[in-house]
Structure 1
Amino acid sequence: MEGSTFQDCTDRLGLELYPGDFQPVRAAGPKGDTKNDGYCPKARVFFAAHATRGERIDKTKSKIRGDLEGCLQKHRDVQVWRFLTNDTLPGEVDRFIDSELRPLYPGVTIEVWGLKTLADEISKLKRAQVDKIVDIVTVDEPEFEVVILNHMKTGRDLWPILSGCLGWLPHEEPDDCTDEEQDLIDGAVQSFRDWSDISGDIEFSRSSVRDAQRSITAILEELAEKGLALYSSTKDDYPLTGGSSPFLGTVAIFRIVRVDRTAPSSSR
């Protein structure tokens, strides 16, 4: 963050650290902000926020001295003066604060919160507070839900899933696949997705749908010859986009499993 964006962030931080006390301040008119970017009237903590990243050392030192001295001249009973920056201050600037400014004002606690200190302080807060400070919107994780997957034996079984979904979750497969099995599975899943992509274009033609289903049946039979079976289903209202108001849609779930050819198949 840079400039006013960084200062807005420090305002939100102050509001979370000092609820009911912190008061943001902005420049207004020829008198400016009276060298005060925000303060706590009760705790008597005064903030100066300035993005120093990429700034010359002499300019940073001048800014710190000017803000500190101006604040002490214009405000009463300053207990803590805290300089907030989006960078780690160079050693020369830190020495200047410790060796020159602190001895001049022993009655004031002079603090510098650089990038690492800010990150450390923010990370101590609750997730909702952190999100508010860095100004992001989070979407609650979807609750755990069991989805029943059914054994797909023919293209007719799988077609309603392919034609009714808007996306796919990453497919699952056995961990011990050979290279040949891996190629077969990858090709099968890609074919399923291709048929899904064009399903809307061929739905009007029963013969085209039957051709698609026969092609899918052939793929399922090829998997079966290798002792592999496809289990599939759909999940509704799945977020297909990010953001605070994601687009929700139906997604397909594919799971390839290794089966015992002598055992009867069942839904899982």
Structure 2
Amino acid sequence: MTVVDQNSLRKLVEGQLLRLEGNAFQDCMDRLGLELYPGDYQPVRAAGPKGDTKNDGYCPKARVFFAAHATRGERIDKTKAKIRGDLEGCLREHREVRVWRYLTNDTVQGEVDQFIDNELRPLYRDVTIELWGLKTLADEISKLKRDQVDRIIDVITVDEPEFEVAVLDHMKTGRDLWPILSGCLGWLEHVEPDDCTDEEQDLIDGAVQTFRDWSDISGDIEFSRSSVRDAQRSITAILEDLAEKKLALYAGTKEKYPLTGGPSPFLGTVAIFKIVRVASE
């Protein structure tokens, strides 16, 4: 498989979105609108005394209106005020608003989502009000074709970056492996012995897939120590299953690895897994 598969591509997109501020984020959202609504989406920029009429881009045919705002670290009360002001301003200035979509590169706080659901949607029942935060944006972008993703986040993804040597350590427990899984954006193709039986092959494939699955959700469970411990115990059990077959896992990371092409590639950390056969004592 390639370094940038579907899951690591989503993480890559998240990383790119997090780097954007101000007009750069709005430009990125314009590119997204052009891909989602070809032939309909029209970017809008502030001009004259009326500004952008509370509209950062819209679809005249579908009647979908966008408000794009980079809100990293913004206070919740300010975010709620911004959402209310943009929505109400858009509804005053434009007719037949069917969908109003607020786009942000921040993780949506529960209080903000609750505010939209409990206060705004009951007031404007004829309008579909949507909030696309960082993860929703990354998910929606990652569903598109690779060339579309490249255009939206303004990079060129590559399937096989040049390999560089990295030091691997013997992973004996889940606590050993967890920092690698939780700190990587992707992984290189794992290495395994050439003489594996079918049973060993199934065990290795299942182990590596589980490691990748834990890596994918690591950011969602890091806030819970008990969830992390459960993950580490699960990983330890897998390593013990490998050890019973006289197999050991060596793993490491390669930092500042080029996950995209172009003159200014996006650099990230990738994990490297190597399964070796242990000689019987």
**Which residue number corresponds to residue 153 of structure 1?**
none
Spell out structure 1 runs of 4+ moving beyond 2 A. 137-142, 242-246
State the shift of 1:137 in Å: 3.3
CA distance in 2, matches of 1:117, 1:243: 25
What pairs with 1:222-237 in structure 2 (closer than 5 Å)?
A: none
CA distance in 1, matches of 2:83, 2:55: 12
SS at match of 1:112: strand
Aligned partner (choices 138, 143, 156) of residue 137 of structure 1: 156
**Which residue number corresponds to residue 24 of structure 2?**
5
SS at match of 1:31: coil
Contact preservation (8 Å) 2:155, 2:261: no
CA distance in 1, matches of 2:263, 2:131: 38
SS at match of 1:72: helix
What pairs with 1:139-218 in structure 2 (closer than 5 Å)?
A: none
CA distance in 2, matches of 1:244, 1:99: 45
Contact preservation (8 Å) 1:139, 1:244: no
SS at match of 1:59: helix
Aligned partner (choices 57, 62, 73) of residue 92 of structure 2: 73
Q: CA RMSD in A?
A: 2.3
Letter in 2 for 1:58: D
CA distance in 2, matches of 1:117, 1:73: 27
Aligned partner (choices 40, 56, 62) of residue 21 of structure 1: 40
CA distance in 2, matches of 1:138, 1:111: 29
Gaps of 5+ in 2: 1-19, 162-193, 195-259, 265-281
SS at match of 1:29: coil
SS at match of 1:67: helix
CA distance in 1, matches of 2:154, 2:126: 35
State the shift of 1:139 in Å: 6.4
Letter in 2 for 1:38: G
Letter in 2 for 1:14: G
SS at match of 1:13: helix
SS at match of 2:100: strand
State yes or no: 1:88 paired with 2:107: yes
CA distance in 2, matches of 1:129, 1:244: 16
Percent identity between matched residues is 82
Contact preservation (8 Å) 2:69, 2:104: yes
**Which residue number corresponds to residue 236 of structure 2?**
none
State yes or no: 1:115 paired with 2:134: yes
Q: TM-score, normalised by structure 1?
A: 0.52
State yes or no: 1:45 paired with 2:72: no
Contact preservation (8 Å) 1:25, 1:33: yes
CA distance in 1, matches of 2:112, 2:24: 23
Contact preservation (8 Å) 1:39, 1:45: yes
Letter in 1 for 2:119: E
CA distance in 1, matches of 2:142, 2:95: 32
Higher relative contact order (CA 8 A, sep 6+): 2
State the shift of 1:52 in Å: 1.3
SS at match of 1:9: helix
CA distance in 1, matches of 2:135, 2:158: 27
Give the structure with higher Rg (CA): 1
Letter in 2 for 1:66: G
Contact preservation (8 Å) 1:87, 1:114: yes
Count of aligned residue pairs for this structure pair: 149
Gaps of 5+ in 1: 143-174, 176-241, 247-268
Contact preservation (8 Å) 1:81, 1:110: yes
